Amino acid sequence: MSIAESIERAGPSPVRPRYAQTPDGAVVFDAESVDHARSDLFGPAAGRWQAHPAGRGQVVVIDRGEREWVLRHYRRGGLVGRIGRDRYVWAGLALSRPWREWHLIHDLYRQGFPVPRPIAARVVRRRWSYTADLITERLPAFSLWDEVVAGRVGPERWAAVGRCIRRFHDAGVYHADLNAHNILLGAGEAVFLIDFDRGRRRRGKRWKRANLKRLKRSLDKLQRQRDEVVFSSVDWRRLLRAYLAGGEKRRAWPSAGI
């Protein structure tokens, strides 16, 4: 299916995301945040730019006055990333990574889940490959690991993280890279999940356990890089206890190490 056909099939409903075809690709955007898919939406003209390190590269924070946006350019990691860097094989607009991520967080945001508000995403196609970008609203929060290192994550905060993850899991939402940097802590007990690249809705339960194991590995790895103890098995038990309080049977989920 061509880009034009994909956009036409999406429909013009005001409740749904808005779409626009560009000379070399397509843009999806939140009409309540931007009035139209301007050509400069993903460039410096969108606001004051400030680069920040993040994950496999960096994100750009765009100052919009009363609000801030986060612009992320999709990049590959590992050996494939060294070869392809930021290019992905074209298999259709609906299967492109930014299109799937944007629509997932758009649905989650509309349903009241603690995720950043999606602003826009674009795909730039070049024959059999494409590059992509995603813009979300910046959250007033800090990464779980930064807060752990700063000594600001007590028992109640660990419990809040466990309850947040359980809420997503109960809705069948799979986060493909659940780690200590993709969990943000805000004021009070606010907990957010970010970076849903390759995330999706899933059925069953086995993936939930693997999801938690991934987070545990992330925390253990970061702890090994420090001289002082900032994360321990006690913290993990607090998180897991709050997660399990939602109804999973304890005999199926060992309380210590998953």
Which residues are known catalytic residues? 177
- Other beta carbons within 10 angstroms of residue 4's beta carbon come to 12
C-alpha 65/C-alpha 88 separation (Å) is: 34
- Residue 103's alpha-carbon distances to 51, 65, 232, in angstroms, are 25, 26, 36
C-alpha 12/C-alpha 75 separation (Å) is: 31
Tokens for 253, please give them: 């989920």
**Burial track 168-194 (b if 16+ CB lie within 10 A, e otherwise):** bbeeebbbebbbbbbbbbeeeeebbbb
